[in-house]
Amino acid sequence: MATIELQKLVKRYGKVDAVKGIDLSIAHGEFVVFVGPSGCGKSTTLRMIAGLEEISGGTLKIGDEIVNERDPKQRNIAMVFQNYAIYPHMTVRQNISFGLYTSKLDKAEKDRRIEEAGKILGLEALLDRRPAALSGGQRQRVAIGRAMVRNPSAFLFDEPLSNLDAQLRAQMRIEIKRLHQRLGTTTVYVTHDQIEAMTMADRIVVMKDGEILQVGTPSELYDTPADVFTARFIGSPSMNLVRGSKMSEGIRTSIDGELLVGIRPHDLIASTGASTEQSALQLSGLVTAVEPLGPETLVHLDVDGQDVIATAQNKFAPVVGDHAICHAPVGSLYLFDVASEKLLGRW
């Protein structure tokens, strides 16, 4: 059973605490995604799990065993990096077999695993090619193949798709997810990309400044972010925030309100005319930019000097210079305390 357990895990570089005593239990077969801003300690955490980075404090367990002092090799974990380090002078087959370089398996078993990985990853026809003759996505699959043949008890991915273009990233995202569904191997995946986090994760771990802020399923984090940081991090475009107060008739915006009111751009509907619909909040402002996305249009407004993003149906989309009114339906608002930035509730 490849459960992974972090108990008060610490990493210090000199005086810098890169990871500040984090606790996390990862279940067997789970797909856990770490997100957070640059420098928050995601890679460091992953590298401690892999055994590439010495642990400064706390305990790391894989299965029932404490592995703090174990070599990477003894941990039976495979890591796939952003710059996937495949060798240009080797064929695809040789690159994949490099994952078994130190293995004591006999040749027939090695060949069988390479063929199988090639088949699962759609590389069968390319096994004798060199990387120069592969697309970016195919190269990334070779790197995954190299990790796969080792039959690891866990996969670690550190921003594996960030060098790929948007379309390929979307495709590889699905492929990695399918691979996980097929193999059922415990996976820890680090990304900057909140869409990857939302679409791939069983659970998302939000990190900031070496600490874990929140852990939950994608929908838990989307519906009930613990604070403004997670609320702004999960969901695209980011949640709007305006100051407001709770009045008997609903939420009112006011510069010195006791609340930070969060409204997701998809819940804030812009129009140029008045709406008769019941709404929890109304905002109005000057349209400063419009971004047609195809099915709908994003509308940027200046609301009392603040940039707010709303959504409009294409046929009702305002144009730059219009004065637009936006409505957020009842139940769509997130209310945060101004001082602590913690979620108080939904409205």
Ligand X SMILES: Nc1ncnc2c1ncn2[C@@H]1O[C@H](COP(=O)(O)OP(=O)(O)OP(=O)(O)O)[C@@H](O)[C@H]1O
- Nearer to ligand X among residue 195 and residue 286 (C-beta): 195
Q: Binding of ligand X at residue 40 (CB under 6 A)?
A: yes
The residues that touch Mg ion, with contacts defined as CB under 5 A, are: 43
Binding residue for ligand X, selected from 43, 187, 240, 253, defined by CB under 6 A:
43
| Interface mask toward ligand X for 148-187; x: CB under 6 A | ----------------------------------------
Binding residue for ligand X, selected from 9, 31, 35, 44, defined by CB under 6 A:
44
**Residue 18 interaction partner, one of ligand X, Mg ion, none, beta carbon < 5-8 Å per kind:** ligand X
d(Cα 94, Cα 118) in Å, to the nearest integer? 12
Q: Binding of ligand X at residue 18 (CB under 6 A)?
A: yes
Q: Binding of ligand X at residue 38 (CB under 6 A)?
A: yes
- Nearer to ligand X among residue 192 and residue 342 (C-beta): 192
Binding residue for ligand X, selected from 2, 4, 41, 225, defined by CB under 6 A:
41
**Residue 38 interaction partner, one of Mg ion, ligand X, none, beta carbon < 5-8 Å per kind:** ligand X
- Cα-Cα-Cα-Cα dihedral sign, residues 144, 145, 148, 150: negative
d(Cα 235, Cα 120) in Å, to the nearest integer? 32
- Nearer to ligand X among residue 16 and residue 293 (C-beta): 16
- Nearer to ligand X among residue 73 and residue 192 (C-beta): 192
Tell me how far, at minimum, the Cβ of 193 lies from ligand X, in Å.
11
Binding residue for ligand X, selected from 1, 25, 39, 314, defined by CB under 6 A:
39
Q: Binding of ligand X at residue 13 (CB under 6 A)?
A: yes
Helices (H), the chain: 42-50, 72-75, 92-97, 107-120, 136-148, 166-183, 194-200, 218-223, 228-233
DSSP line for 110-176: HHHHHHHHHHHTT-GGGTTS-GGGS-HHHHHHHHHHHHHTT--SEEEEESTTTTS-HHHHHHHHHHH
- Nearer to ligand X among residue 43 and residue 253 (C-beta): 43
Tell me how far, at minimum, the Cβ of 37 lies from ligand X, in Å.
7
Q: Which residues lie closer than 8 Å to 296 by C-beta, 6 or more apart? A: 311, 312, 313, 314
- Identify residue 337 by its one-letter amino acid code: D
- Cα-Cα-Cα-Cα dihedral sign, residues 254, 263, 346, 235: negative
Residues in the site for ligand X, rule: CB under 6 A?
A: 13, 16, 18, 36, 38-44, 192
